[in-house]
């Protein structure tokens, strides 16, 4: 090697040398390298610096240069050995198997019928963009927001909830999922049971388990959560928290009947327990009446209410709220303060402007009409394409159909086969805290472009159903 050789060429030669050495071995000195490879001192210095930046060597001033101990040199990638973290992290793993897609991202051209969001054509995009632009230009746009949320936004949420709800009863959150996480951690101690509907929202199960709680399922029927089973579950487990979705339950679409609303609250009060009411579908009715939130008729602080703007507006409008009275609200405020101090001010300002505009009510009405039409189109297509499938009810709100499959059909196998044919749907087993009683699919009708895409998605699903076929024992 002559004096004109580059430091890159020298670094390649030294990598070959490192491959023959062991971690901790000392490299030849700079003077020795200069002599052996016939290069200048500056070239040696640049080559050593490059290897150090890769993590291949460690330089110790006054001592020399050594082979790094946690470096794999066989591929030159400098991959660190992080196996020590397995011991340090113990057994507090966060279980995401119910919310992570086991099949991975769908390929291009897949018809999306497994999403919990509305299609871009159903979003109030123009209003959101204009509101965000104006919010970002405000003189105080980038100032710190109040920890509990902007007073004006809390006032709007209080008005939406109704009853005697005051702005002081509202805590603005970064969407509904953040609200669930805060509530689970604030209300119940790690290791405690939490009662949940069966089936229920998988991300709620994940948030509960991440908080160290043990979900205990309570069955549903066509009228919603069964009060008799709920009373038994409270008695057997000693639980002090129930998570439920009284309006347009995800995934079944059921609505808790007026009689059961009273019974559920009576059972919870008698058990000294909280009811965590997930009201995600407040703005997702299909044109009919939407029942009042449970919290609006709760005087005793039994109900902790969760709401969000993400579902009816857009995925990135991460604005939600917790509504509660008494010490539980102070506990939740403390948890959110520790988590992230406050929700970004421009996003709150934008949400406030959108909610306060007359166009919001028009959007909710037009969205409801579109969802009702899409629901009917998909129900007819699924009934035609999947013989033997059962729709327990045609939902009057929400974003999905809950379809019971014929005996002998594996929902996970069918879901994988459908993905191969270019349509993404959700396996029903993800929605159960324990073993599912039967195979189901949750099929969404809100995330597709139009009715034609819904019908084509059902056709592809039907083709996958024919391919998989019921398995006979």
Q: Is 54 helix (H, G, I), strand (E, B) or coil?
A: helix
* 339 backbone dihedrals φ, ψ, rounded to 5°: -65, -60
What's the confidence (pLDDT) of residue 72?
A: 45
Which range among 89-98, 205-214, 446-455 shows the weakest confidence by mean pLDDT? 89-98
Q: Could you tell me which residue, 113 or 1, shows the higher pLDDT?
A: 113
Give residue-wise pLDDT tens across range 196-231.
Answer: 999 999 999 999 999 999 999 999 999 999 999 999
Q: How far is it, in rounded angstroms, from Cα 433 to Cα 70?
A: 41
Q: Could you tell me which residue, 244 or 75, shows the higher pLDDT?
A: 244
Residue 267 CB partners (closer than 8 Å, separation 6+): 227, 230, 231, 234
- In this prediction, residues 44-73 reach a mean pLDDT of 80
Q: Is 414 helix (H, G, I), strand (E, B) or coil?
A: helix
251 cis-preceded (ω within 30 degrees of 0): yes
- In this prediction, residues 231-256 reach a mean pLDDT of 97
Q: How much is the pTM?
A: 0.81
Q: Is 285 helix (H, G, I), strand (E, B) or coil?
A: strand
- Percent of the chain clearing pLDDT 70 (strictly above): 92
357, burial (CB in 10 Å: exposed 0-12, middle 13-18, buried 19+):
middle
Q: Is 235 helix (H, G, I), strand (E, B) or coil?
A: helix
What's the confidence (pLDDT) of residue 299?
A: 87
Tokens found for residue 243: 């998570």
Indicate the helix (H) or strand (E) that contains 64: strand 64-67
Which range among 88-102, 237-251, 433-447 shows the weakest confidence by mean pLDDT? 88-102
What's the confidence (pLDDT) of residue 71?
A: 43
For residue 469, pLDDT beyond 50: yes
Q: Is 216 helix (H, G, I), strand (E, B) or coil?
A: strand
For residue 4, pLDDT beyond 60: no
Outline where 308-389 has alpha helix (H): 327-340, 345-356, 358-385
Number of Cβ within 10 Å of residue 97's Cβ equals 9
Range of 36-45, 85-94, 249-258 with top mean pLDDT: 249-258
For residue 74, pLDDT beyond 50: no
pLDDT averaged over every residue in the chain:
91
What's the confidence (pLDDT) of residue 450?
A: 95
How sure is the predictor about 56, in pLDDT bands with cuts at 50, 70 and 90?
confident
- In this prediction, residues 369-398 reach a mean pLDDT of 95
């Amino acid at each position: 090697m002559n004096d004109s050789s580059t430091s890159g060429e020298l670094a390649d030669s030294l990598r070959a040398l490192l491959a023959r050495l062991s971690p901790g071995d000392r490299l030849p000195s700079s003077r020795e390298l200069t002599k052996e490879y016939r290069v200048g001192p500056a070239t040696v210095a640049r080559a050593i610096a490059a290897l150090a930046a890769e993590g291949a060597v460690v330089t110790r001033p006054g001592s020399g240069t050594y082979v790094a101990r946690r470096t794999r040199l066989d591929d030159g990638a400098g991959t660190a050995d992080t196996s020590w973290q397995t011991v340090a992290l113990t057994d507090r793993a966060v279980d995401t198997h119910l919310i992570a897609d086991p099949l991975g991202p769908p390929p291009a051209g897949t018809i999306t019928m497994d999403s919990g969001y509305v299609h871009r054509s159903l979003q109030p995009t123009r209003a959101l963009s204009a509101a965000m632009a104006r919010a970002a230009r405000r003189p105080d746009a980038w100032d710190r927001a109040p920890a509990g949320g902007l007073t004006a936004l809390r006032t709007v949420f209080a008005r939406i909830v109704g009853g005697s709800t005051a702005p002081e009863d509202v805590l603005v959150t970064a969407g509904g999922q953040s609200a669930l996480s805060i509530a689970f951690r604030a209300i119940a101690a790690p290791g405690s049971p939490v009662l949940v509907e069966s089936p229920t929202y998988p991300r709620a199960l994940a948030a509960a388990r991440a908080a160290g709680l043990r979900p205990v399922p309570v069955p549903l029927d066509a009228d919603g959560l069964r009060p008799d089973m709920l009373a038994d579950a409270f008695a057997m487990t000693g639980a002090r928290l129930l998570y439920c979705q009284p309006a347009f339950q995800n995934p079944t679409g059921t609505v808790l009947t007026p009689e059961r609303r009273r019974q559920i609250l009576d059972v919870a009060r008698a058990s000294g327990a909280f009811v965590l009411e997930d009201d995600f579908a407040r703005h997702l009715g299909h044109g009919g009446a939407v029942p009042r939130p449970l919290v609006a008729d709760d005087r005793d602080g039994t109900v902790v209410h969760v709401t969000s703007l993400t579902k009816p507006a857009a995925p990135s409008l991460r604005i939600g709220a917790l509504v509660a009275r008494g010490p539980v609200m102070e506990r939740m405020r403390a948890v959110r303060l520790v988590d992230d101090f406050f929700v970004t001010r421009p996003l709150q300002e934008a949400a406030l402007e959108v909610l306060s505009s007359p166009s919001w009510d028009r959007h909710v009405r037009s969205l409801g009409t579109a969802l009702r039409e899409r629901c009917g189109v998909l129900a007819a297509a699924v009934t035609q394409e999947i013989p033997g499938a059962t729709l327990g009810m045609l939902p009057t709100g929400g974003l999905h159909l809950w379809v019971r499959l014929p005996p002998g059909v594996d929902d996970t196998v069918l879901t994988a086969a459908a993905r191969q044919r270019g349509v993404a749907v959700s396996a029903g087993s993800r929605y159960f805290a324990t073993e599912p009683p039967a195979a189901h699919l949750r099929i969404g009708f809100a995330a597709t472009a139009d009715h034609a895409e819904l019908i084509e998605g059902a056709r592809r699903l039907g083709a996958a159903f024919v391919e998989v076929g019921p398995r006979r024992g």
